Structure 1
Amino acid sequence: MAEFLYRLGRWCARRAWTVLASWIVILGLSVTGYLAAGGTLSSQVTIPGTETAKVTDKLADRLPSVAGGNGTLVFHTSDGSAFTAAQRTAIAALLTTTGELDGVAATRDPFATQQQVDEQTAQVAEGRRQVEAGLEQLDAGQRQLNGARALGVQGLEEQQATLNEQRAELEPQRRQLERSQQVLTMSSKIRTVSEDGTAAVAPVVFTEAQMDVTPETKEGVVDHVRAGLPTGVEVEFSNEITQSVPEILGVGEIAGLVVAAITLLVMLGTAIAAALPIISALAGVGIGVTASLSLSGVVDMLSITPVLGVMLGLAVGIDYCLFILNRHRRQLLEGAGFHESIGLANGTSGNAVVFAGATVLVALLALNVTGVPFLGLMGTVGAICVAVAVLIAITLTPALLALIGPRVLNRRARKPSAAPTEPIGTGRAVLTVIAGLAVLVVVALPALSMRLGLPDGSSEAQDSTQYRAYQLIQEKFGAGVNGPLLVTAELPAPAVGDDLLAAQAEIGTVLLAQQNVTAVAPVGQSGDNTLLAFQVIPDDGPSSSSTEQLVRDLRSISPLPGDVALGVAGSASGNIDISAKLADALPGYLSVVVGLSMVIMVFVFRSILVPVTATLGFILSLFATFGGLTAIFQWGWLGEIFGVHDPNPVLSFLPTILIGILFGLAMDYQLFLVSGMREAYAHGAPARVAVRQGVHAGRTVVIAAAIIMISVFGGFIFSNSAIITSLGFGLSFGVLVDAFLVRMLLIPAVMHLLGDSAWWIPKWLDRVLPDVDVEGAALERRHSAATEGVEQAQQQVDGAPAQLAAGEDRRGA
C-alpha cells in the first residue's frame, strides 16, 4: 500500500492540473445529481416495526382522520386581554382558508369547538336535570299509588302500567345522559380556548403522514396564517409545523472554521499552506454531502443526516490533509527533493491516513447492523464523506502541494528538534495514570442517571416560535397538552348507538384512572366500529419521566376485561420505543465496531496490549462524554453557556452515534501517536524511550488536529437545532477528552509502565500477520537507500576529473 501511495502521490504531483480539474468535474456531477434527484428531508425520528409505528399504521389504514400529520397554531392577544368578537370571527375565517391550502386536510375553529363543548355540557346537564325531575315525579306518583293500594283502593293497574311505561322511557335516557356526562367529565380539562380567553389552540391536520409533509406545505401554512392575522392577535407555531431542514453553515460553524484556520496558520506559519487543508475539506464536504443528498429522493433521510456529513467531512478532511502536508514540510526541511518529498509524504502519512480512515469507516458503516434505518443511513452518509476525505487527501493534496511549490514553507521554518533519548520518570507515569483515571471517573459519574428521549418544543431557542408555542400551551392549557397520547382500543365486536357510548365511557374511565392522566377524550372510531381512538392528556410534558411511565402503564393493562386490546402512540410512546430499540441494538453494534477495529489495530501495531489499552481508553473517554452530556443537557449545568434553558433527556440516538464516530476518531489519534512509538521501537530505541520519541514526533500535529476537530464540532453547538447542538457538544467534548486526556497523557503513561511487554505478540501470530507498514518505514528505507546510492554515484562522477588530474600529475612527476 505504501509503495502504491508513493507512486500515486508522485503521479498526482506531476499531473496536478489534471487532478484538480478531475475533482472539479466530480464536484459538478455530484451537485447536478443532488439538484436532479434530491428529495425531501424529514424532521421526524421514526423506527418502523415498533409498537408506536404499528398503532400509527393501523390508524392510517382504519381511521385515517386521526392518522395524518398534524401541528398546532397558538393564537394569543398582543396585550394579554380576552379575544374580542371581531378577533374571534377573523381567526375563524382565517382557519377556514387555511384548511383549503394544498396539503392541508382540515383545521378546526377553537372558539366554535369550545362553544359546542360548553353548550353540549350545558345541554347534558339540563337533560339530566329534566330526567331526574321526571323520575322524581314518577317516584312521587308511585308513592301515591302505593298508598292508595294500601288503603284497599281497586282498579289501579292502568295507572301502574302508565307509571311503568314512563319510567321505561326515562331510564334509558338517564343512562345515556349519565354516560354522556361521564365522557364530558373525562374530557372537561381539555380546552381549545384558555379559561381567561386570551389564548386559543387550533389543530392543523395535513393530508400526508407526519414524515411525508413537505417543507413547502408547512411554509405555506406559516406564511398564510401570519399574513391573515387580525389586528391585536399574534400566532405561534408548534414544532411539527416549523421544524425543517436545519441550517448547515451558520455563524457558529463559520466561527469554528475560523478557529481551525488560525490554528493552521500558527502551526504552519504561512497563509497559503494553512488554506490548503480547509480548501481540501470544503471540496470533500461539497462532493460527499451533495452525493449523499442525491439519495434523498429514493430513501427517507433525517434532516440531521447531511449535517453529520458536514461535521465529519470538515473535521477529518482538514486533519487528513494536515497529516500529509506536515510530513511533506518536515521532509523538505530535512533536504528531500520536492517531488520525491510529495511521494514519500503520501506513501508514509498518506498510508496512515488510509488506515485511520478505515477505522472511521468501519465504525460508521457498522451502524447498519443496529437494524435502525435512519441510524444506518446516517452512518452510510458519514462514511461516504469520510471516504471522499481520504481520497482527496491522497490525490488532491499531492496535486495542490505541487502547485504551491516552495511556498508551503516560510522563511522562519526550521528543522524539528532532536528526539529525546531519555524516558520520563516512572513515578510521573504512575501519577499521570492515577490522576487521569480519577478525572475520567468523576466526569463520567453523571452518566449513571442519564435518561434518553427526543427533544420537544422546550428544547428550542427561546426566541423561536415553537418555544413560545410550547410555553403558551403549558401556561394556558397544561403541560400535557404539548404531548398528548393517542390510545386505540380494539373491540371484539362492533359497538353502535348506546353500546358505542357505553364502550367509550367504560374504556375512558379505565384510562382516566391511571396515574399521571389529566383528561381523556374519544376522538373517533373506525368505519366498522371495532377500533376506538382516545386522546389521553398526561399531567406532564412529553419528555418527562412520568409520561414515559404512563405509556408503560397503559401498555401493561392491555387487554382490558372483555378482551379489549389497547395500543399507544404519540411522542412519548415513540421515545420509549426508539430508546428500547437502540438499547437492544447497542451491545451487538459495540461488539462489531470494537472487534473489527481491534483486528485492524493488531495488524497495524503487531501487539496485543496496545489495541486493548486503546479500546479501554476509548471506553473511559466515552463514558466521560456521556457524563458531560448528562450534566449539561439533562441537569442544566453551565446551561447559560451552552444555551440549555430547559433541561431535557439526552437525545435518544446520540449515544449510538457517538460510539461510532468517537471510536473511529479516537483510533485515528491512537494510530498517529502510537505508530510513531512503534517506528522508534522498531528502529532500536528502548521501549520507554520509544514512547517519549513517538509522542515528541506526533504531538504537534495531533494537538493541532484535535483543536481543529474540537473547533469544527464546537461550532455546531450554537446551532438553532437542539439535536445538532447536543451532537456538536458530544463530538467536541469527546474529542477533547480522548485526544488530550487519554491519548496524549494516559496512553503514553500506560505504555511507559508496560515497557517491552506493550509490544508482545505470540510468535505464531507474528508469523501469520502481514506487514502492513502503516507508517511506510520500509518505503522510507528503500528510497533513502536509493537516494544515498544516487548521491554516492554523483559524488564519484563529480570527483572523477579531480582523480584523473591527480593521476596525470603523478605520471608527470
Structure 2
Amino acid sequence: MSVYLYRWGKFAFRRKWIVLPVWLVLFVLLGGLGAQLSKPMSNDFSLPALPSERANEILDKHFPGASAAYQFDAVTGTYVIAAPEGQKLTDPANRAALQAFIARLDQLDIIDHSKPLSNPIEATDKLGCLADPDPAKCSGAPLNVLNKTEPATVAFMSVPFSIKTFDDVTDAHREAASNVAADARNAGLTVELGGSIAQPTGGPSGQAELIGMGVALVVMILAFGAIVAAFIPIITAIVGLGAAMSLIMVGTGFISLPSFTTFLASMIGIALSIDYALFIVSRYKHERTVQDSPEEAAGTALGTAGSAVVFAGLTVIIALGGLSVIGVEFMTWMGLGGAVAAAFAVLTAITLMPALLGAFGRFLFTPKLPFVAKHDPEDDRQVTNGMRVAKLIGKAPWAALILSVVVLGALAAPAAGLNLGLPGEDSMPKDSTIRKAYDLRTDGFGEGSNGVLNIAVDLSGVAKDKREEAVQALRTKLGSYSHMDYVTTPQWSDDGQGALLDGVPKSGPNNQDTKDLVAEARGAEAEFESTYGMQYGITGTTAIYADIDHVLLSKIAPYLAVVAGAAFLLLILVFRSILVPLTAALGFLLSMAATFGATVLIFQEGALGLIEDPRPLVSFLPIMLIGLVFGLAMDYQVFLVTRMREEYVHGKAPKEAMISGYHHGARVVTSAAIIMISVFASFLLETDAIAKQMGFALAAGVLLDAFLIRMVLIPSLLTLMGKWSWWIPKWLDRVLPDIDVEGAKLVELQNKSVELDKEPVHAS
C-alpha cells in the first residue's frame, strides 16, 4: 500500500493542475446531481415487528382505518387551549372564542372533514362532567374538570388531518395549522399546537460546523506554526463534506433516508477530513526538512502517513457500515451516510491533498509564526512536551495505569442507571409551540396525558354475554397499577367484537415508570386470555417508545462485542501483535463505559446544572456512539502506536521505543483530538436535543479515549509488558497478510533508488 501511495503522491504533486480540475469537475457534478435529485428526508424511526404492532392488527380488524392514527409517520395534531388567567373556558366570552376557533379550523383544507370536529366543552358536557366531575366517567373528558389545575381552564382537541404522511407536511401546512388560531389568541385564549403537524424539519443549523472549523483552524495554526498550511485541511474538509452530502442527497432521490443522516455525516466528515489532512501535512512538513525534493517529500508523506490514514478510515467505515448488522433500517442508513462521509475524508486526504501541497508549493509554511510549533517532534534531538509526558509515564507506569483506570471507572459508574428514550415533544425548545402545548397539557391533565396508552381489545374469542364483563375487568386491572393515573371508558366497535381503551400513565412517555407500566400491562394478557379468551395489544407513542428502547438496548452488547472483536482482528494485522490489539480493544470498552457514564450524569441526571431539562438518552445514541468512537479510537491507536512499533523494530528497547514513538506522535494526536472535540462539542450550541446529546457524547468519548486510553493507559501497559507487547505466534505471523501500514516496503524502495543513483554509468 505504501509504495502505491508514494507513487501517487508524487504524481499528484507533480500533475497538480490535472488533479485539481478533476476534483473540481467531480465536486460540481455531484453538487448538481444532488440538487436535481434530492427529495425530503424522513423522520421515521420505526422498527419492524414491534409488540405495539399487535394493537394495530386488532384495530384494523375491528376499527377499520383506525390504526393509521397510531403509525409512526402519521400526521397528528392536538390543539391545547387555555383560558386567560383567573377565567374559565366555560365563561361566555371564552366559550364563544373557542367555538369561533373550531369553525375556522373546520374551514382548513388540510383537515379531514370526514370526521366532524368536536368542541371539548360540549363533549365534556355530554358526559355530564361539567355538573358532576366523577372520575369514573370523566377521566377521558377533553376539558380538565378533575382538578389537575383549576377546573375548566384547559382543554385539548385532537384534530384529524388529510395529509397522508409526515414527509408530506410542508412549511405552508405548518403555518396554516398555527395561524388558524390567530383570532382565538387575539380574544385572549392561549392556543398551542402539538403533534407531528407542528414538528419542525431539518437538522442542525450549520453554525456548529462553522464554529468547529474555526477552532480547528486555530489548532492547526498552532500545530504547523504557519497560516497557509492550516487552511489546506479546511479545504479538503469542505470538498470532502460537500461531495459526501451531495452523494447522500442523490440517494434521497431513490430511497427514503432518515433526516439525521446528514447531521451524522457532517460531524464525521468535518472531523475526519481535518484529522487526516493534519496527519499527512504534519508528516510532509517533517519530510521537507530531511529531503531536498518537495515532490519526494509529498510522496513519502503520503506513503507513510497516508497508509495509516487509509487504515484508520477503513476502521471508521467498517464500524459505521457494521450498523447494518443490527437490523434496524434507519440506523443502517445513518451508518452508511456516515461511512460515505468517512470514505470521502480518506479520498480527499490521499488524492486531493498532495495536489494542494504542490499548488501552494513554497508558500505552504509561510509566514512562520514566532514561538509557535518551535520544536519539531520528528527531531529526536529536541525535547518536546510529548517526550516529557512519555518519560513521566515510563518512570511510573503503574501509577499512570491505576490513575487512568480509577478516573475512567468513576466516570463509568453512572452508566448503570442508563435510561433510553426517543426525542418527544418534551425535548423541544421551551419557546416552541409544540413544547408549550406539552407543558400546558401537563398542567391541565397530568404529564401522562401526553403519552396515552391505546389498548385495543379483541373480543372475538369471548362469549357475547361475557364481553362487557371482560372489558370492565381489564379496565379495573389496568387502573389498579401504581403507575397508571386512570383508564377511560371503553369505545366499542360496530361489530361488538372489539373495544378501545385509553390508559393515562402518571408519568411522561420517556419515563422509566411508564415503560415499566407498559410491560406490566402486557404481562396481564395471559390471565385475561385464560379467563375470558380475550386478547389485546397496546400501542400509542408511549408503547412505541418503550418497544424501540427495548430493541435498541438489547442490541448494545452484541454490537459492542462485534466492534471490539473487529478492533482486535484489525489491529493484529496492523501491529502484528496479540497483546497490543487486546489492550486496545479492552481500553476502548473502558472508555465507552466512562463516556456512557459521563453522558448519563450530565443529560439524564442533570449534574452540574449544564442541562436545563434532564431526560433519557436518545435510544440510538449508545450504538451510534460505539460505532463512531471505535473508529476514532483506532485512528489514534494507529497514529501513535505504529510509530512506537517502528522504533522497536529498528532496535530500541520497549520502554525507549514507547518514549520515542510518543515523542513523534503526541502532537499530531493531541491536535487531532482537540479538533474532534471542538467539532463535536460545538453541536452543544444547537437547540435540537439529539444534536446536543450526540455532540457531548462524541466529544467526551474522544476526550477520554484519546487522552486517557491512548496517551496514558496504553503507553503504561506497553512499558509494563515490555517485549511481550510485540509478541505474536510464528505460525500466525506467517499467515497474516503484510498490509505495510508503517511503510517498510517504501523504505526499501527508496534505499534501492539511492543505490542505483550511486552506481557509475559506463559508456558502451
TM-score, length of structure 2 as denominator length: 0.89
Note if 1:651 corresponds to 2:618.
yes
SS of equivalent residue, structure 1 residue 51: coil
Q: CA deviation at 1:352?
A: 0.6
Which of 491, 494, 508 is equivalent to 1:541?
Answer: 508
Distance in 2 separating the partners of 1:463 and 1:182: 33
Which residue of the other structure, out of 629, 632, 641, is the alignment partner of 2:602?
Answer: 632
Taking structure 1 as reference, are residues 304 and 283 closer, same or farther at Cα in structure 2, changes over 3 Å only? same
CA deviations on 1:416-463 (whole Å, 9 max, x unpaired) are 432679965755111100111110101111111111222333333233
Q: Name the residue aligned to 2:273.
A: 317
Which of 213, 218, 224 is 1:268 aligned to?
A: 224
- Secondary structure, in 3 states, of the residue corresponding to 1:75? strand
For residues 87-123 of structure 1, the C-alpha deviation after alignment (integer angstroms, 9 at most, x for no partner) is: 4434434444445545543699998233232233269
Out of 636, 640, 655, the position equivalent to 1:673 is: 640
> Deviation at 1:225?
2.9
Distance, in Å, in 1 between the alignment partners of 2:98 and 2:114 is 11
Aligned residue identity for 1:592: V
Alpha-carbon distance in 2 for matches of 1:122, 1:457? 29
Decide whether aligned partners of structure 1 residues 35 and 205 sit closer, same or farther in structure 2, where only a CA change above 3 A counts. Answer: farther
Deviations for 1:313-353, whole angstroms, at most 9, x for unmatched residues? 11101101111111111111223411111121111111111
Could you list the per-position Cα deviations for residues 276-323 of structure 1 after superposition, in whole angstroms to 9, with x for gaps in the alignment?
Answer: 111211221112123123323443432222101110011101101111
Q: Which amino acid aligns with 2:545?
A: N
Letter in structure 2 aligned against 1:449 = G
Is the CA contact (8 Å cut-off) linking 2:115 and 2:160 kept in structure 1?
no
- Structure 1, unaligned stretches of length 5 or more? 127-180, 801-813
User: Alignment RMSD, CA only?
Assistant: 3.0
TM-superposition CA deviations, 1:124-160 (whole Å, max 9, x none): 989xxxxxxxxxxxxxxxxxxxxxxxxxxxxxxxxxx
Match of 1:64 in 2: 65
Pairing of 1:273-284 with structure 2 (within 5 A)? 273-284=229-240
SS across alignment from 2:537 = strand
User: Does structure 1 residue 256 correspond to structure 2 residue 224?
Assistant: no
Counterpart position of 1:613: 583
**CA drift at 1:623:** 0.2
- Does the Cα contact within 8 Å between 2:203 and 2:259 map onto a contact in 1? no
Residues 1:245 and 2:207 are matched in the alignment = no
Indicate if the aligned counterparts of 1:586 and 1:656 stay in contact, CA closer than 8 A. yes
**Alignment deviations for residues 507-546 of structure 1 (CA, whole Å, 9 cap, x no partner):** 4333323332222225755554433222211111112222
Task: Compare 533-542 and 403-412 and name the one that shifted more.
Answer: 403-412
Counterparts of 1:328 and 1:334 in 2: how far apart (Å)? 10
Corresponding residue to 2:443 among 471, 475, 483: 475
Larger CA Rg, structure 1 vs 2:
1
Matched, 1:512 2:483: no
SS at match of 1:72: strand
Alignment-derived partner of residue 118 in structure 1: 125
> Counterpart in 1 of 2:160?
205
Distance 1:426 1:3 in 2: 34
Distance 1:686 1:340, change over 3 A: same
**Pair 1:433-2:398 in alignment:** no
Q: 1:437 to 1:106 in 2, by over 3 A?
A: farther
Please state how far the C-alpha of 1:625 moved relative to its aligned partner.
0.2
Matched, 1:450 2:418: yes
For residue 720 of structure 2, the aligned residue among 740, 753, 770 is 753
The 3 A distance-change label for structure 1 pair 343 and 465 is: same
Aligned residue number for residue 539 of structure 2: 569
In structure 1, how many angstroms separate the alpha carbons of the residues matched to 2:249 and 2:53?
A: 26
Identify the residue that residue 187 of structure 1 maps to in structure 2. Answer: 140
What does the per-residue CA deviation read over 1:56-95, in whole Å, with 9 as the maximum and x for residues that have no partner?
A: 4654674424632313222335656434544443443444
Cα distance in 2 between the residues matched to 1:719 and 1:678: 42
Residues 122 and 785 (structure 1), Cα distance of their counterparts in 2 relative to 1, 3 Å cut: closer
Give the 3-state SS of the residue equivalent to 2:112 in structure 1: strand
One of 547, 553, 558 as aligned partner of 1:583: 553
Output one character per residue of 1:436-493: Cα deviation in whole Å (capped at 9) or x when no partner: 1110101111111111222333333233333222221111221111111111101125
- 1:53–1:374 Cα change, 3 Å: farther
Q: Distance in 1 between matches of 2:135 and 2:177?
A: 38
Whether the 8 Å CA contact 1:98–1:221 is kept in 2: the answer is no
Paired amino acid for 1:202: M
In the alignment, structure 1 residue 486 sits paired with structure 2 residue 454: yes
- Match for 1:489: what amino acid? V
- The offset of 1:651, in angstroms, is 1.6
Letter aligned with residue 552 of structure 1: A
State the AA in 2 paired with 1:444.
Answer: A
Counterpart-to-counterpart distance in 2, 1:38 and 1:404: 35
> Structure 2: which amino acid aligns with 1:763?
K
Partners of 1:271 and 1:612 lie apart in 2 by 40
Alignment of 1:551-566 (within 5 A): 551-559=518-526, 560=528, 561-566=531-536
Shift of 1:655: 0.9
Equivalent-residue separation in structure 2 for 1:773 and 1:442 (angstroms):
39
1:383 and 2:384 matched: no
Work out whether 1:550 is the aligned partner of 2:517: yes
Q: Which amino acid aligns with 2:159?
A: V
Identity across matched positions, percent: 36
Counterpart residue type for residue 119 of structure 1: K
Alignment partner, residue 321 of structure 2: 365
Q: Secondary structure at the match of 1:646?
A: coil
Structure 1 residues 476 and 503: alpha-carbon distance in aligned structure 2, compared to 1, 3 A threshold? same
**Cα gap change, 1:720 to 1:242, in 2 (>3 Å):** farther
The amino acid of 1:748's aligned partner reads P
Amino acid at match of 1:248: P
Q: Which of 424, 430, 433 in structure 2 is aligned with 1:465? A: 433
Q: Distance in 1 between the 2:438 and 2:185 partners? A: 22
What is the identity, as a one-letter code, of the residue corresponding to 2:126? E
Please, which of 233, 236, 261 is the counterpart of residue 192 of structure 2? 236
Q: Deviations over 1:169-194 (max 9, x none)?
A: xxxxxxxxxxxx99625536974997
Superposed CA offset, 1:212-243 (max 9, x none): 45344752444433545441234323253333
Give 1:33's aligned residue: 33
Report if the CA contact (8 A) 2:393-2:712 is conserved: no
Contact persistence 2:595–2:700 (CA under 8 A)? yes
Secondary structure at the counterpart of residue 180 of structure 2: helix
Deviation at 1:692, TM superposition (A): 0.8
Question: Is the Cα contact below 8 Å between 1:77 and 1:233 reproduced in 2?
Answer: yes
Which one-letter code corresponds to 1:184 in the other structure? K
Report the equivalent of 1:173.
none
Structure 2 counterpart of 1:408 = 364
Work out whether residues 284 and 313 of structure 1, in 8 Å CA contact, stay in contact via their aligned partners in 2.
Answer: yes
In structure 2, C-alpha distance between the alignment counterparts of 1:23 and 1:615, rounded to whole Å: 37
User: SS where residue 713 of structure 1 aligns?
Assistant: helix
